[in-house]
Amino acid sequence: MLTRKQHQLLTYIDNHLNANGVPPSYDEMKDALGLKSKSGIHRLITALEERGFIRRLPHKARALEVLKKPQNMIDDPPAKGSFEPRIVDDSFESIPTPQASNVNAKETVGLPFYGKIAAGTPIEALRDNSRSFEVPPGMLGRGDHYALEIEGDSMIEAGILDGDVVLIQRTDTADNGEIVVALVEGQEATLKRLRRRGASIALEPANTTHETRIFGPDQVRVQGRLVGLVRTY
């Protein structure tokens, strides 16, 4: 599954290749997606390459090849400076599942819904089993899960927007580069990308207007990792 920004960039690259015969420059990609720096484009291209959607051709400047497209790929090239792709509505009711025509409320799983994730509130303090959020079981893996509503724009370049509901697998460990719910100094719960830098831990936002924060290894405790996202339009 691609994030919204990854999908936007892949669509733009493919349309530019079809229209011009050459891939767009990093500046063109940055402007098309409305990013403030090219570092966000580098991260998105790396993620698309790791997922097998594009390939960087060696020994050639700005050479990219689209290897595959998601099913809801857009074929219409956007106007320069006004890139606004049409994303398939991924609100809960339209998420594709096996035998989708027979899906009903009994074929969903109710996750504890802890409300908005906000600075100063540990996940434990949000725990409220009286509220639940229904999702298709195919969106979940093994283990215990819970749902949180996103507040703010610190992860927009990873396709996580204000008002989205994220699905979190409860765990106290995470791989380098995963997006996690982290508890900082026992007080502040935040959703960020986890980076280990030697003996330090970096909590990295996906928004160039926000700063990466660095902590000691005993200042951060992982409380879960991102496994899914639901958006209502």
Active site residues: 154, 192
Find where tokens 């995470």 sit: 174
Q: Burial code of 141-175, b = ≥16 C-beta within 10 A, e = fewer?
A: eeeebbbbbbebebbbbbbbeeebbbbbbebeebe
Q: Two tokens at 20?
A: 């011009």
Q: Which residues pair with 117 in a beta bridge?
A: 150
- DSSP SS3 for 96: coil
Residue 63 DSSP class: -
Task: Name the nearest CA neighbour of 197 among 212, 182, 209.
Answer: 212
- Sign (positive or negative) of CA dihedral 227, 7, 45, 157: negative
Find where tokens 């063109």 sit: 28
SS3 content of the chain, % helix, strand, coil (to 5): 25, 30, 50
